[in-house]
Structure 1
């Protein structure tokens, strides 16, 4: 999975998770970030408006 606009590094994710009591290694942090970017990408999709014709 390749995201062009990644704003959070793996190291930053590890630090942030550790501050919240979650201990992860680099591989796990990368997976978590990929999941979050994927969710973010799907969340930002514009909803299609259905036009009902009479």
Structure 2
């Protein structure tokens, strides 16, 4: 997976993880960063509209048989 606009380097990710007690090598850091960029990309697509009805209001009041 390739993200063209990565702003966190692999070395920076390794440093941050080590600071928090997690030791990873460069290959693991690449996988972690790709995962986080994928999550961030998908979360941008799932913007929640404050005016949209909630799931509870969309449910029917009767039982489904």
Give the structure-1-normalised TM-score. 0.83
Q: Which ranges of structure 2 fall in alignment gaps of 5 or more residues?
A: 53-65
Q: Quick one: distance in 2 between partners of 1:9 and 1:31?
A: 12
Q: Quick one: distance in 1 between partners of 2:46 and 2:15?
A: 33
Q: Which residue is 2:11 aligned to?
A: 11
Q: Quick one: distance in 1 between partners of 2:27 and 2:46?
A: 32
1:1-54 Cα distance to aligned partner (Å, 9 max, x none)? 11011000000000000000000000000000000000000000155x78xxxx
Give the structure-2-normalised TM-score. 0.69
Pairs within 5 Å for 1:1-54: 1-47=1-47
Q: Quick one: distance in 2 between partners of 1:45 and 1:12?
A: 26
Q: Between Structure 1 and Structure 2, how many residues are aligned? A: 49
Structure with max Cα Rg: 2
Moved over 6 A (4+): none
